Amino acid sequence: MTAVLFDFSGTLFRIESTESWLRAALDGAGLKLAPLELTRTAEALRRAGALPGGAPPLRVPEELAEVWEVRDESSTLHRAAYTGLSRQVPLPHGLHDALYERHMSPSAWSPYADAAEVLSALRGRGIAVGVVSNIGWDLRPVFRAHGLDRYVDTYVLSYEHGIRKPDPRLFGLACAALGVEPGRTLMVGDDRRADGGAAALGCGVHFVDHLPVTERPAGLWPVLDLIP
């Protein structure tokens, strides 16, 4: 292998809890909820699937089904899909947009405990690294804020190309940007359908578990065993 492609959410980074997300948006707006109401509202948002990178919706409302399917193809669609889900939950005026803005903040994301060490080890071996993500916003500031940008050679983000995983073309763009052959490239992700699309291009594929940061201290280390 000469290159490794990584997914973002659930692979290298994990979003904060729904309750932390809601609390941060409330604080930013100068609003308060009673503790029990905060817990109940956070649970309603979790069930609605309103937090990008969090739990998927238990049910996508019929009026959002079309935009939900293509949400990662543009920033406009991504925002519409997730604010549409949050609006299924009664919230103070303006908070739906504040919640969406909050999830794009670097402080809303935490790298997995072994992410820096594994990326550093790959750099030390001369392995090219790319990030391939289905997303509707620019995640580069998250990597910079957490000190991981120095290990990444290219970012291929669905909304910038109007293509989403598992479409092999998105992985092909990453390989082309790195100047590597798909057959000598490993894709690492947590979604068997989306990230597994790299196999159609000839890439190797390795899956990690989408777990909270505290429950997956060394999930990325096996990647190094797959790189000679």
C-alpha span between 228 and 224 (Å, rounded): 8
Q: What is the mean pLDDT of residues 60-79?
A: 98
Domains and CATH numbers, the chain: 3-14+109-225 (3.40.50.1000), 15-108 (no CATH)
- Non-local (6+) Cβ contacts of 183 within 8 A are 202, 203
**Is pLDDT of 226 > 90?**
yes
* End-to-end C-alpha distance for the chain, whole angstroms: 7
Quick one: tokens of 94?
């303006």
pLDDT digit string, tens, across residues 98-156: 999 999 999 999 999 999 999 999 999 999 999 999 999 999 999 999 999 999 999 99
C-alpha span between 220 and 126 (Å, rounded): 18
pTM summary value = 0.96
Q: 3-state class of 16 per DSSP? A: coil
